[in-house]
Structure 1
Amino acid sequence: MINKKFKLFSNCFAVKGINRGIIIDFQRKNYYTVPNQIVDLLDEYSGKEIYSLFSDFNNDKPILKKYIRFFLSNELIIVNNDISQYPAISTNFERPYSIDTLTLDSNLDKSILKNFLEMKIDGLGVSNLRMINEVFNLQEIIETLKFIDKSRIKSVVLYLKYAVGLETELIKLQNKFPRIVEVVFYDAKEIPNNSKFIYEQKSLEEVLAMKIRNHDDFTMELSNFNESLKYNFAYNRTLFIDSFGNIKRYITDESIFGNLNTHDLNKIVQNNEIIDFWEISRDKINVCKDCEFRYICPDGSVPLKTTQDKYYTSSQNCSYSPYSNKWS
């Protein structure tokens, strides 16, 4: 076997952090922590014979054998005489439309909302719609959902300010409109034992910031990984529209880039300030750039420009430290 060549399977990727690295297996939606030196060796010796690795690191053979066995047992590496049969998967990220996810306040003027959802939203390519409803009004929600009945929107997430006794009506609503994939209550004073919905004691702003709590929040999809290599996964190709129709990058954004009633969103998304914001990947954010999980992390902390260096800072502290490798 040592005369055969090796490399990671095409669906597996290695990422270095400041203290350690990980190998991500997107097919099995799992990851494994490894020393950074192992990531370096996988990168440097990929496509070469195992013998050359053992020859160059003769004193470390026992450790290298241990990792080779580990990689083989978890089907992370290919060992073959001809590894050209296993080409790499492209990490390019391309989408044909301007916007993937749109968050809007349902208190927007109904005539403006109807015109936008029925006539314009498909031209933007929006596939995910997030609707904010501070006051629960079943008929208004139904009316709004009917506006997108013939659209190409794939999923709808409802954000509702918590009130007691809404669950029965919401279950009926989900049965009637299967595009509702999630219902999130914010400002919940209590957490009912109901697995059908998400209850958050946090404010709406905090909920939309999507602070990760543990490793279960990671997104183990290759397309998300590819997007995160170049863009900010939480905000790329997303916009927020408030109850006045103002177009923003996110809910707490102090900048306004136009109004839904008077501006064309296809032109708004060509604004350099919006594009630059979308392109603030985790490699450009302090702390995040040192984290081994940066390409699978959906955390929605807003990147803020600093005057001290070329890197950004996060609007909220993360629950994970790449320096101690511990969760708080």
Structure 2
Amino acid sequence: GGPALGLHDYRPDDAVVDYHAVEPSAAADVLDHMLDETGRNFRSTIHRTTAEEFLGTEGGADGADDVDNADDAGDADEAAGTDDSDEEFDLIVFGNVLSELDDPVAVVEAALDRLAADGSVVAFAPADRNTAMGLREVERAVATPESGVSVYAPTLRLWPDATPADGGWSFDVASDLDVPPFQRRLDEAAAREAGDEPGEFVNVDVQFAYAILRPDGRRRVDVRASADRCAPMADSESHVTDRVNLLAVKLSHDLSGGDNALYLVGDGSQTVDHYLVCTRETALNRDLREAGYGAVVFVENGLVLWNDDEGAYNVVVDDETVVDLVAP
């Protein structure tokens, strides 16, 4: 119910939302109760079916076994009698589900076909390596130069017609959660073996990978790299031990664990992982540290090195390097 309740609280009370939840499991029963508490203008329908069936990538009628949560009988009758197979959506959200699908690319492509012209598909996944990289694989299979689908955020393609081929293990990190009292009580009461650590029922970390895709080609910021000002990361092999200028998207928080600050970056052309390594922060390069996840930065005079242990390029940011924030 997270996407539904989050959207409900985010939109103003007078905004009309027609929300369709697709959930084949018994979790739909819990969601049904949660949606009972939403406002009158939040009109929800639970489709107890799979994403594949709902979007028409496998046999079956759209919206099988629907449960309508409209606020009055008239709305319920209208919803029950409406064939929404051609309905366009402004937003389609895949929450921690793409890794569970047999053919996630086909499902996302079908979702893009059901969007309004200015609509978006939002997919998010846990930050662990397999699911986060799996999300990027789907993103790259769908958002190709030929398809016209754009990555709105966060992994902007800064070079025209480029598609990245690095590992793509990129995720955002938000503030820790406040642990609900009932969760603490569960953890305190849990039976543990001698070697077990406390915290089994307490997870305060908020780390997630996400992608926003659009069929209209729009991106969060319309920034493009140019060969007369910077080098594409695809050409880093020819620049090892050279100092270069780069236009880059910051795709991680500090990964160093306390040593020289380390940030995963990309420009949409990279074929292997690239990291900016700050060995000496100055007033002229501190934008690198202060920039948020997904921000675009211009790196002037970074030193390109090959890290054989990690199979990646390290671009050293030192007292000879200038980093400017281009787009937050």
For normalisation by structure 2, the TM-score amounts to 0.24
Q: Which has the higher helix share?
A: 1
For normalisation by structure 1, the TM-score amounts to 0.24
